[in-house]
Amino acid sequence: MFHDRSPIYVQIADGIKNDILGGSLEEDEQVMSTNQYAAFYRINPATAAKGFAQLVDEGVLYKKRGIGMFVSPDARGKLRAARRERFFAEVVEPMLDEAERVGISTDEITHYLGSRR
């Protein structure tokens, strides 16, 4: 599950976000505790806690004192909105810039995309 390219706590947070977006974690569903997560993936509990804390700070998870961590009611919507924004900024805008440099019009791009479906 983990690779060397980014910190493990970031990979933990990203994995949980992907589970929420993919539907394997539903809103208001309880997630594994940090200790369970650490034991399951054989990582330091502090590393797991740091990933979970990031998700709490982002409003993706919330704590119920004495019970555990849960997926926030609006988590999927927030994550989709953030991913869409990032997609346009990191993928679409650079693509349009390159298309302009090589003389491809937006009409050509639209036609091409329409023919792919």
CATH for 43: 1.10.10.10
**Sequential pLDDT tens for the chain (117 residues):** 677 788 999 999 999 999 999 999 999 999 999 999 999 889 999 999 999 999 999 999 999 999 999 999 999 999 999 999 999 999 999 999 999 999 999 999 999 999 987
* The pLDDT value given to residue 116: 85
Q: Is residue 3 part of a domain?
A: no
Length of the chain (residues): 117
Residues 62 and 12 in one domain: yes
User: Domain range spanning residue 63?
Assistant: 8-73
* pLDDT on residue 93: 96
Same structural domain, 84 and 96: yes
Rg of the chain over Cα atoms, rounded to whole angstroms, equals 19
DSSP label of 112: H
- Asked whether the whole model's pTM tops 0.75, one would answer yes
Number of structural domains (the chain) is 2
As separate numbers, helices (DSSP H) first and strands (DSSP E) second, the chain gives 6, 2
Q: What angle do CA 74, 29, 12 make, to 5 degrees?
A: 85
- 18 with 50, same domain: the answer is yes
Q: What's the confidence (pLDDT) of residue 105?
A: 94
